[in-house]
Structures are given as structure tokens and as C-alpha cells.
């Protein structure tokens, strides 16, 4: 079965997407100051205008820690890992939505890049946060869920010691080699750069995408004029995070990087459900979506 999604739109960032992806980092040390109301409004409205691969209708909101704490809804601190953050961007989605995790990842990562263009820092939080209080602050309905939030604000002049230790332990600046992530026609053939122009820069944007615990679970195979996205599932990791499928959120982040980079470079295509039949697909690989190209 194959069905088409809307043609991806170009997002008018103030600098190239690849530059924003290179500049973005997981900021865990913020200056503790507020943000202008127009900046907060722009951050909240930006992802609401996106065309998402699976067409879910998401609801976005800014959580002001100081305001919520005054209402006795917010526990002290920032989960021990993030210092000085005041604002969080959250996304709510219906519980019965189709592939909600991927659309959450796509939308919030686009907002992360938008924040980067505004010279703001950001950090994904998907595993450990007070979902009950955050959900209450956003007015979450019984049929909604809150998979993840993004801390956002201006970076501190100097990273805290804990920030540096967390980044070092997670090897946050390291990425798998292209040969481990991208394949041509079958899983035994890594995709060579000289065989994929002009797509090589787009795939590099995917390679640089952030992911939970830096596991980089996406695998992309180019076959029959399409790029097919698979999730290399780490079942042990999933068992540790029962409230959200973080690895599927990671897939949405990777898809966001792919689409934004491809669209900016004028490489036409669209998302579709077009699972390929590929022999010897590993048992832990889960098909997600395909990007049908027009090149």
C-alpha cells in the first residue's frame, strides 16, 4: 500500500539549514533570564504551521517554570541535569494518533533549529521530567499525551561542570560513520558519497541529528528512487523509558533534518508509505516511512 503526503514546504530560516544543524548543541547551562514575549510567541507558533509527515494535529505550548512554581505545580530544580532554564516548549498529541512520536520529533526539532536561528540554546527532554505537572500546566486533555519537551533559553556564558560531564559521558559530539547508517539497494552495501550526489549533504544532515543517549537509531536505504527510513530498535533501551517511544521520536528528528535539507537544496520529493522488500533485513529493524524523490 502506498499513499502520498503533502509536498514538503520550504521553511525560511535566516541561514542555511546545514549551518543551523552544525551549530545546534544540547545546551544544559542557561543564563536563567527571561525571554521577550515576542520570542516566546514566535517559538510557540512556529511548529504549529508545519506540514508534518503523518499529518497529526499537534498542540504546542510554552511552560514558564517561574509561573508554574508560583502555582505550586512545579518541583524545584531542572531534573539535576539542566541549570538555569526557565522555559520549555511542549507538544501535545492525541493518544490514538497515527505515528505521533515521529511527528512530535519532526515538529519539535524544527522548532529547535528555529531557536538556534534566534541564537537560543535548547535541549531535548524525553525521558525524565514531571509529566503530570507539565501536562497540567499545558491543560492536557484526557485524550492527549505529552511525549517530550524542549528546554529553551539563552545559553550561559560558561557551561556548568555537570553539563560538561553529561556531554562527555553521552559522547554527545560523536556520530556513527555514514557506512553504518546509509545503504544502497541492500543492507550489505554502504552508500558511497560519489554515488549519491546531490543527496550526500542531505544525508550528512541526518547523520548529525540528535538522539536519545546518542544512539542514532535511524538506518536509511536508497532503493528504486526512494530513501527508506528504518528504525534500528534497541529493545532494552525502550524498556527503560515506558512513557514515550524515544527512538521513534529520534526517527522524526532524522526525518526533519532530511526534509528540511532536501527542500532547501531544491531536491523535490514527498513522504509516502512504500515499504520496500529488502532481503536479510535485520529482525530489529522497523520500517517507518519513505521519501520518494523526483530526481
DSSP assigned state of 14: S
pLDDT tens-place string over residues 180-238: 999 999 999 998 766 567 899 999 999 999 999 899 999 999 999 899 999 999 887 66
Q: In degrees, to the nearest 5, what angle opens at C-alpha 216 toward C-alphas 28 and 161?
A: 20
Q: Which of 151, 155, 38 is nearest to 86 (CA)?
A: 151
Q: How far apart are CA 9 and CA 211, in angstroms?
A: 24
Residue 185 sits in a domain whose CATH number is 3.40.109.30
Q: Is residue 101 part of a domain?
A: yes
Look at residues 137, 168, 199 and tell me which one is the last residue of a structural domain.
Answer: 168
Continuous segment of H or E residues that includes residue 124: strand 121-125
pLDDT in tens, 207-217: 999 999 899 99
Residue 15 has pLDDT above 70, yes or no: yes
When divided into structural domains, the chain yields a total of: 2
Residues 84 and 136 in one domain: yes
Q: Which of 113, 135, 168 is the endpoint of a domain?
A: 168
Q: Would 194 be classed as within a structural domain? A: yes
Strand partners, 292: 226, 270
The rounded distance, in Å, linking the Cα atoms of 250 and 38 is 29
Percentage with pLDDT > 90 across the chain? 63
Same domain, 158 and 188: no
Q: Is the pLDDT of residue 34 over 70?
A: yes
Helix residue ranges, H only, 208-290: 235-240, 246-264
Domain that holds residue 134: 17-168
pLDDT in tens, 45-72: 999 889 899 999 999 999 998 876 655 5
* 8-state DSSP, 200: H
Whether residue 12 is contained in a domain is answered as no
Q: Between 277 and 235, whose confidence is greater?
A: 277
155 and 203 share a domain?
no
Overall average pLDDT of the 85-97 stretch: 93
Give the CA radius of gyration of the chain.
19
Q: What is the rounded CA–CA span in Å between residue 209 and residue 202? A: 11
Asked if 67 and 78 sit in the same domain, the reply is yes
Give residue 13's pLDDT: 84
Amino acid at each position: 500500500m502506498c499513499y502520498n503526503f503533502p509536498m514538503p514546504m520550504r521553511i525560511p530560516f535566516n541561514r542555511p539549514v546545514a549551518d543551523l544543524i552544525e551549530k545546534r548543541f544540547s545546551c544544559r547551562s542557561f543564563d536563567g533570564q527571561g525571554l521577550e514575549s515576542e520570542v516566546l510567541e514566535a517559538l510557540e507558533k512556529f511548529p504549529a504551521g508545519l506540514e508534518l509527515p503523518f499529518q497529526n494535529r499537534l498542540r504546542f505550548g510554552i511552560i514558564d517554570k517561574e509561573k508554574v512554581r508560583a502555582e505550586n505545580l512545579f518541583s524545584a530544580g531542572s531534573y539535576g541535569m539542566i541549570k538555569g532554564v526557565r522555559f520549555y516548549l511542549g507538544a501535545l498529541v492525541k493518544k490514538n494518533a497515527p505515528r505521533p512520536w515521529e511527528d512530535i520529533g519532526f515538529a519539535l526539532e524544527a522548532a529547535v533549529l528555529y531557536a538556534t536561528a534566534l541564537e537560543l540554546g535548547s535541549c531535548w527532554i524525553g525521558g525524565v521530567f514531571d509529566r503530570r505537572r507539565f501536562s497540567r500546566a499545558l491543560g492536557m486533555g484526557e485524550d492527549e499525551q505529552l511525549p517530550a519537551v524542549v528546554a529553551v533559553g539563552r545559553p550561559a556564558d560558561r557551561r556548568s561542570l555537570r553539563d560538561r560531564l553529561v556531554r562527555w559521558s553521552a559522547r554527545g559530539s560523536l556520530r556513527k560513520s555514514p557506512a553504518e547508517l546509509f545503504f544502497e539497494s541492500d543492507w550489505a552495501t554502504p552508500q558511497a558519497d560519489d554515488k549519491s550526489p546531490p543527496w550526500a549533504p542531505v544525508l550528512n544532515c541526518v547523520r548529525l541529528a540528535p538522539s536519545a543517549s546518542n544512539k542514532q537509531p535511524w538506518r536509511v536505504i536508497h532503493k528504486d528512487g526512494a530513501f527508506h527510513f528504518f528504525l534500528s530498535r534497541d529493545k532494552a533501551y525502550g524498556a527503560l523509558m515506558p512513557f514515550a517511544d524515544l527512538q521513534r521520536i529520534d526517527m522524526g528528528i532524522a526525518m526533519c533534518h532530511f526534509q528540511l535539507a532536501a527542500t532547501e537544496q531544491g531536491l523535490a520529493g514527498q513522504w509516502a508509505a512504500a515499504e520496500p522488500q529488502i532481503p536479510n533485513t535485520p529482525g530489529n529493524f522497523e520500517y517507518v516511512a519513505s521519501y520518494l524523490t523526483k530526481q
